[in-house]
């Protein structure tokens, strides 16, 4: 690693700090070659974060799935709210034009 936090390896590219999302190392960051998964990539790989305890490994995946489900539900509710507001504006405009 260089002084400015940039990491390079044999391929000369700046190594990416990536977050690993699989259940065996949930949200654990690692440095890896940006050419992955190409065959001509260098084999640079290094964990950035320490490993988490077994209890965290058991709990975090479920929490992440719940967060993702909640995020999707929020997206759907925002979409529904948007179209409800549009319908309310259209109905208000129709009611207003029938009064005039
Ligand atoms: Zn590389």
The strand order across the sheet containing 28-32 reads 16-20, 28-32, 45-47
pLDDT at position 21: 85
Q: Could you tell me the residue ranges of all domains in the chain?
A: 1-51, 53-100
| CA 61 – ligand 1 centroid, Å | 29
| CA 64 – ligand 1 centroid, Å | 30
pTM of the model: 0.58
| CA 34 – ligand 1 centroid, Å | 6
How do residues 75-99 score in pLDDT, each as one tens digit? Answer: 999 999 999 999 999 999 999 998 7
| CA 42 – ligand 1 centroid, Å | 4
C-alpha closest to that of 7 among 44, 40, 52: 44
């Amino acid at each position: 690693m260089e002084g400015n936090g940039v990491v390079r390896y044999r391929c000369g590219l700046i190594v990416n700090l990536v977050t690993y999302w699989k259940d065996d190392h949930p949200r654990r960051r690692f440095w890896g070659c940006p050419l992955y998964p190409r065959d001509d990539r260098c084999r640079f790989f290094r964990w950035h974060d320490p490993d988490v305890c077994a209890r965290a490994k058991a709990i975090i995946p479920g929490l992440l799935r719940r967060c993702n489900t909640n995020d999707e539900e929020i997206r759907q509710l925002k979409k529904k709210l948007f179209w409800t507001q549009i319908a309310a504006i259209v109905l208000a405009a129709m009611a207003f034009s029938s009064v005039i």
